[in-house]
Structure 1
Amino acid sequence: MKQTIVDLRRVMQREGIDAWISPSSDAHQSEYPTEYDKCRRFLSGFTGSAGTLLVMMEEAYLWTDGRYFLQAESELKDSGITLMKMGELGVPSLDELLEEKMKKDEVLGFNGSLLSFSEGKVIANKVVKKGVKLAIGKEITNEVWTDRPKRPHTKVFILEDKYAGKSASKKISEVRERMNGKDLLIVSSLSDIAWLTNLRAFDIQCNPLFLSYFILEMDKAILFIQEESLSDDVREYLSNNGIGIKPYDDFDKSVAAIKSRQIMFDEADVSYKTFISISKKDNANKLYNVLSPVTYLKNIKNDIEVSNMKKSHIRDGVYMAKYMYWLKQQIKNGAKLTEKTASDYLDDLRRGDELFLDLSFPTISGYAENGAIVHYEAEYDTAKELEAKGLYLFDSGATYMDGTTDVTRTISLGENTYEERLHYTLVTIGMLRLLNTTFKRGAIGACLDIKAREALWEYGLDYNHGTGHGVGFVNTVHEAPTSIRNKINKDLYRNLEFEPGMIMSDEPGVYISGKHGIRMEILMTVVEKQDGFLGFESLTMAPIDNEPLLVEVMTKRDIELYNKYQKQVYEAISYGLSEEEKLWLKELTKEI
């Protein structure tokens, strides 16, 4: 039994709490929270980015999705925590299990700031009707986590209009137009606030964000931010863009004081605590739950943002090609490399870029069976040594001043089995078929997901994650709600119809536990095709390894799409390579 769970139960017993929920997010519903906010990781020992822990007096459970099943099984071993594989047949959801197990007059506790209203209301609706009481104020993890890190406050900097494409004042004006006469909009999402203000910082690892809240009214705008994050230049910039400043910790008090107003909010954005505060009867507010207009506008990149993204992806493609060439040569020459020492070389190539800000996420570097762990992160002391055989998967990216990249390639390090080559080819086919599909206006991600999976399905194969996620501009690498997946979002207003300027990933895969993992990923932007139809254009310009391909399972059309992409890659990135690297790339991208 994990000691942190034992210690938490002692506090729960003292406080009269029968069940405690610890989610992955922070008060802004961030996918990747600060070190200060990683309560679920501290309590459970599970390090994946998505998961919810439930601790009861006799049992404990952790829910996570298909990306993390293998990782969670390993990290939760002997912890006394039962893994709940989300989406699997017969696995109850968190709210279903609470409804089943909790009894009248028992107490369910959670930090009301850490659950979004959309999550909190489902849980509350299920248990309150049974007579279960809620305790949502206190964060009892503090009493167990005695050396909890301090809340970060890195210095905020301005993203110039030549990169962002529009000033903050212009963006605020556009958001106000979409408020349809409502009095006030509450914004808790850090990525939304970064986009709206054209400000960035690094309070969260690999995310160019700063802890903040934003309240927008028709005649004023207030940014709630930690004073230590602000320079005189940024204060002046905010004033010039019509944005006032209040301390970060004043947000809850300010929200509680809002009375008799028409308030717009996004239930996936604001916390359960914030909703409870604005919905009190004596406040007499009228509430409008919508997809935030900030989120909507952020998802549709302007022409300057798209142009900058293309530039950043071409430079990033050069680094990818250099890495592939270097790694294949190193392995061929018998160099001793591990998953970690190899990927460090790629990280350093990106860090040398003059516009580099940070990695967009910790590099995933998985050789052989480790490639089957979707979000595997190699460590120096446990990283697997690379050998001159099998497949190597690396998923990586960077945040530059002019764009955000996210690209995955799987490459051959030597001899491959027929199964490895078949799976590799089918995944490559899926990526290229989706990239080259044309679709009618009005389509959502669920309409297109099959294009990436159909070749795999023909062989009885599939992958347990979405096919594509939205990507921010100098922002978060996972940008909701833009997505491509085989399920329709239950909140219908979050199923965004594709529009020109949206940017998303295209990343099918195959994961065979104990053997190999294969994923191929590009980022692409939605573009106009013929009248009434849209399509995609690849931003990613990274070569595809031709060594593991089984050309005989590709159709004539698949071969044409492969040759077309490889030619584009060579023409785009060969300028940045040495003569030796250029000759190698020419051979790698030749027609098949």
Structure 2
Amino acid sequence: MAQKTVNYVNQLRALMKNPKYVKESIQAYIIPSGDAHHSEYLAECDMRRAFISGFTGSAGTAIVTESAALMWTDGRYYLQATEEMGEGWTLMKEGLPVTPSQGKYLSDNFSEGSRVGVDPNVLSYEEWKIIQNDMKGSGVNLVPIATNLVDLIWEGKPASPSNVVVPLAIKYTGKSCKHKVEEVRSKMAEKGSTLLLVTALDEIAWLLNLRGSDIDYNPVFFSYVLVTQTQVHLFIDESKVTLAVRNHFNEEDLPVNIHAYNKIHSFITEQIPEQTGKVWISSDGSYSLNSMVPEKIRISKITPIALLKAIKNTVETQGMINCHIRDGVALCRYFAWLEKELQKGNAVTEISGADKLEQFRKDLDDFVGLSFPTITSSGPNGAIIHYHCTPKTDRPITTKELYLCDSGAQFNMLQNIYTKATKLPLFPIARLLKDVIGTIIAAAAYLILAEEGNCLDTLARKFLWDIGLDYLHGTGHGIGSYLNVHEGPMGISWRTYPNDPGLQEGMFLSNEPGYYEDGKFGIRLENIFYIVPATVPFNFKNRGFLTFRTVTLVPIQTKMLVTSLLTEKEVDYLNSYHRECREVVGTKLKELGHQEAWEWLYRETEPIG
């Protein structure tokens, strides 16, 4: 791979000067992670950054210049990028004070008149603006290159997937697609918008109550949607639209005009002159599509769908709760099995463990698949935050090292995520204790309605900060309802989210502080919670207060805790949480006849203190 990436970079540099593809030579070329829909996870045909560099993480931006090849990525992927990148690549550790932004690097290293190229179809309008603003005053120009240069050197590039789309019944969605479109039109009218262009794949799937499989682990399909006050237009490969989909639209009383996927640009060109109001398109949409809409009539904000989707209705909420109970059964069965196998001296590896966990999940009703590749990491592999196990890196799971399992599943009614670090014998680890405390405090927090998530991030980090430690990832992210594992527009992180609407009742988020020591171990405790109204003595200025309710019901391994260091509040929290695990998941295990898993659960939830 190392030599291949060197060859690819050299071929790319030649194309940067080829007048057949660039009217005037460019001195640098940006290769973002995303596709035409700003997706976090990609179909194989869109993995251009991975192809050119060897780095397969879900976040990162490559820049190739005439003399350098650089990769910007965040703390989740520092170790992985270092291990995977080919020869000649330099890691730019995003998020550290010493690391310049992409635009700052370009403005500092190129002279006035230099040209930086990028495919405008795979760079969002928001990202374009950020890079352009960072280069402001330098005379370095960001220019669109219509032909993707990586595609020109990618021999054997996978074809775009053409999997069929399936309807999702209203018993899972809680609202018909007609109802959802009416809600969206109401939001459009409030902003004076007569046309909404939807580019995010999960927003389209949610709006139309459809699901697909064009991207692994993400039940979405390649498409665009245009909504006006009277019509809905769906742009999609028509081979994906089955009779069941057409019947679905009829049953939910929503007429939908279907067009070829590649007709979106020409259709927008025709539609814009006809608009009497504003055209709404998210700034997360591509620069190519955003730039087609004159700025004076463009609303460049997150779409109304983003927030409607993030706030789960009662059916979605109950589905989330039910599914976590169901998945808790699979996880308890897995950890009971794992403990027994290791006690018997049987070999279990990261890969065989992940396979066994998936097998337990397949036994569950409505299981569709995993929501991301299971992060199953033993010992030093746990320090790679988003570690992906391969036959080359596979390690045994033993009782002598920490084992971190971060996994999630898709069910027809929702998805779930679960992360725990586990070890069978007692392990003296004050850092884990602090991490648990941070998790507990964050989970028990009260917040003001619409308070932004970054205001809570400090609560989860406080006890690590107190001893001079930290972790290089966000504390929490939104969760989709049988959609993407990472869902905006809200989150809990040291970063601010430009479109954060604030935390609101009905949102589901993860709570996942951690601690990692390179080459040694990783710890992450991740539960999912949803936001509910809080009962508090006062209500300052009638602003409304909220709190979190945890839906993940799998034990926190108390044998790893030095319980004498816990406060009374923390002991009470753990005992209460474990009592609920027994009452809810334990009852389900009994009903299903999983005696060994039930016994394991009861051992792991014995009261402490």
TM-score category, normalised to shorter length: over 0.9
Tell me how far apart the structure 2 counterparts of residues 502 and 549 of structure 1 sit (CA, whole Å): 31
**2:261 is aligned with 1:257:** no
Equivalence for 2:22: none
The offset of 1:364, in angstroms, is 0.2
How has the CA–CA distance of structure 1 residues 105 and 447 changed in structure 2, closer, same or farther, with 3 Å as cutoff? closer
Shifted more, 509-518 versus 547-556: the winner is: 547-556
Q: Which SS does the other structure have where 1:13 is aligned?
A: coil
Residue of structure 2 aligned with 1:537, choices 545, 549, 561: 549
The offset of 1:166, in angstroms, is 0.3
Equivalence for 1:9: 13
Q: Which SS does the other structure have where 1:21 is aligned?
A: strand
Equivalence for 1:241: 254
Tell me how far apart the structure 2 counterparts of residues 184 and 36 of structure 1 sit (CA, whole Å): 30
TM-score normalised over the length of structure 1: 0.95
The offset of 1:315, in angstroms, is 0.5
Q: Which SS does the other structure have where 1:525 is aligned?
A: strand
Tell me how far apart the structure 1 counterparts of residues 475 and 329 of structure 2 sit (CA, whole Å): 25
Tell me how far apart the structure 1 counterparts of residues 402 and 597 of structure 2 sit (CA, whole Å): 21
**2:520 is aligned with 1:507:** no
The offset of 1:350, in angstroms, is 1.2
Equivalence for 1:347: 358
Equivalence for 1:528: 533
Shifted more, 91-100 versus 200-209: the winner is: 91-100
1:328-339 equivalences in 2 (<5 Å) = 328-339=339-350
The offset of 1:297, in angstroms, is 0.6
Tell me how far apart the structure 1 counterparts of residues 93 and 436 of structure 2 sit (CA, whole Å): 28
Equivalence for 1:216: 227
**2:127 is aligned with 1:111:** no
Equivalence for 1:150: 159
Q: Which SS does the other structure have where 2:559 is aligned?
A: coil
Equivalence for 1:172: 181
Tell me how far apart the structure 2 counterparts of residues 255 and 128 of structure 1 sit (CA, whole Å): 30
**2:310 is aligned with 1:299:** yes
Equivalence for 1:186: 197
Unaligned runs of 5+ in 1: none
Shifted more, 431-440 versus 163-172: the winner is: 431-440
The offset of 1:127, in angstroms, is 4.6
The offset of 1:353, in angstroms, is 1.9
Tell me how far apart the structure 2 counterparts of residues 131 and 515 of structure 1 sit (CA, whole Å): 43
Q: Which SS does the other structure have where 2:16 is aligned?
A: helix
- One-letter amino acid matched to 2:284: D
- One-letter amino acid matched to 2:16: M
The offset of 1:583, in angstroms, is 2.1
Equivalence for 1:488: 496
Asked whether the 8 Å contact 2:198–2:282 carries over to 1, the reply is no
How has the CA–CA distance of structure 1 residues 264 and 135 changed in structure 2, closer, same or farther, with 3 Å as cutoff? closer
- One-letter amino acid matched to 1:498: L
Equivalence for 1:274: 289
Q: Which SS does the other structure have where 2:193 is aligned?
A: coil
Equivalence for 1:87: 95
1:291-330 equivalences in 2 (<5 Å) = 291-330=302-341
Q: Which SS does the other structure have where 2:528 is aligned?
A: strand
Tell me how far apart the structure 2 counterparts of residues 4 and 508 of structure 1 sit (CA, whole Å): 38
Equivalence for 2:389: 378
Shifted more, 65-74 versus 2-11: the winner is: 2-11
TM-score normalised over the length of structure 2: 0.93
The offset of 1:488, in angstroms, is 2.6
Residue of structure 2 aligned with 1:556, choices 554, 558, 568: 568
Q: Which SS does the other structure have where 2:157 is aligned?
A: coil
Q: Give the number of equivalent residue pairs.
A: 581
How has the CA–CA distance of structure 1 residues 469 and 254 changed in structure 2, closer, same or farther, with 3 Å as cutoff? same
Residue of structure 1 aligned with 2:485, choices 477, 490, 509: 477
The offset of 1:556, in angstroms, is 0.8
Tell me how far apart the structure 1 counterparts of residues 513 and 325 of structure 2 sit (CA, whole Å): 22
Equivalence for 2:602: 586
Tell me how far apart the structure 2 counterparts of residues 321 and 124 of structure 1 sit (CA, whole Å): 50
- One-letter amino acid matched to 2:422: I
Asked whether the 8 Å contact 2:448–2:545 carries over to 1, the reply is yes
The offset of 1:75, in angstroms, is 1.3
- One-letter amino acid matched to 1:259: I
Shifted more, 229-238 versus 503-512: the winner is: 229-238
Equivalence for 1:444: 452
Equivalence for 1:225: 236
The offset of 1:484, in angstroms, is 0.8
- One-letter amino acid matched to 1:203: D
How has the CA–CA distance of structure 1 residues 127 and 533 changed in structure 2, closer, same or farther, with 3 Å as cutoff? closer
The offset of 1:126, in angstroms, is 4.6
Asked whether the 8 Å contact 2:383–2:521 carries over to 1, the reply is yes
- One-letter amino acid matched to 1:13: K
Deviations, residues 468-525 of structure 1 (Å, cap 9, x unaligned):
0000101001001111112333x2xx12222110000000000011111000001110
Tell me how far apart the structure 2 counterparts of residues 264 and 293 of structure 1 sit (CA, whole Å): 13
Shifted more, 250-259 versus 223-232: the winner is: 250-259
Asked whether the 8 Å contact 2:116–2:140 carries over to 1, the reply is no
Equivalence for 1:497: 502
Equivalence for 1:459: 467
Asked whether the 8 Å contact 1:389–1:415 carries over to 2, the reply is no
Tell me how far apart the structure 2 counterparts of residues 468 and 201 of structure 1 sit (CA, whole Å): 26
Shifted more, 196-205 versus 134-143: the winner is: 134-143
The offset of 1:263, in angstroms, is 3.5
Tell me how far apart the structure 1 counterparts of residues 130 and 280 of structure 2 sit (CA, whole Å): 17
Shifted more, 432-441 versus 138-147: the winner is: 432-441
Asked whether the 8 Å contact 1:102–1:127 carries over to 2, the reply is no
The offset of 1:125, in angstroms, is 4.2
Tell me how far apart the structure 2 counterparts of residues 509 and 340 of structure 1 sit (CA, whole Å): 22
Unaligned runs of 5+ in 2: 20-24
Tell me how far apart the structure 1 counterparts of residues 88 and 231 of structure 2 sit (CA, whole Å): 51
The offset of 1:576, in angstroms, is 3.6
Q: Which SS does the other structure have where 1:277 is aligned?
A: coil
- One-letter amino acid matched to 1:190: L
Tell me how far apart the structure 2 counterparts of residues 9 and 384 of structure 1 sit (CA, whole Å): 39
Percent of aligned positions that are identical:
35
Residue of structure 1 aligned with 2:71, choices 42, 62, 74: 62
- One-letter amino acid matched to 1:5: V
Deviations, residues 64-95 of structure 1 (Å, cap 9, x unaligned):
0010011111112x521110000112110111
How has the CA–CA distance of structure 1 residues 13 and 363 changed in structure 2, closer, same or farther, with 3 Å as cutoff? same
Q: Which SS does the other structure have where 2:398 is aligned?
A: coil
Deviations, residues 333-374 of structure 1 (Å, cap 9, x unaligned):
111111111111101111222201110000001111111110
- One-letter amino acid matched to 1:18: Q
Asked whether the 8 Å contact 2:532–2:547 carries over to 1, the reply is yes
Asked whether the 8 Å contact 1:392–1:413 carries over to 2, the reply is no
The offset of 1:258, in angstroms, is 2.9
Tell me how far apart the structure 2 counterparts of residues 477 and 40 of structure 1 sit (CA, whole Å): 21
- One-letter amino acid matched to 1:546: T
The offset of 1:133, in angstroms, is 5.9
Asked whether the 8 Å contact 2:281–2:290 carries over to 1, the reply is no
Deviations, residues 425-444 of structure 1 (Å, cap 9, x unaligned):
22222222211212222322
- One-letter amino acid matched to 2:54: G
Equivalence for 1:409: 420
Asked whether the 8 Å contact 1:102–1:132 carries over to 2, the reply is no
Deviations, residues 111-131 of structure 1 (Å, cap 9, x unaligned):
101010001123234557515
Shifted more, 352-361 versus 393-402: the winner is: 352-361
Residue of structure 1 aligned with 2:80, choices 66, 71, 84: 71
Deviations, residues 169-219 of structure 1 (Å, cap 9, x unaligned):
000000111112311111100011011000001100000000010111111
Tell me how far apart the structure 2 counterparts of residues 204 and 407 of structure 1 sit (CA, whole Å): 21
The runs of 4+ residues in structure 1 deviating greater than 4 Å are 125-129
**2:69 is aligned with 1:30:** no
How has the CA–CA distance of structure 1 residues 174 and 3 changed in structure 2, closer, same or farther, with 3 Å as cutoff? same
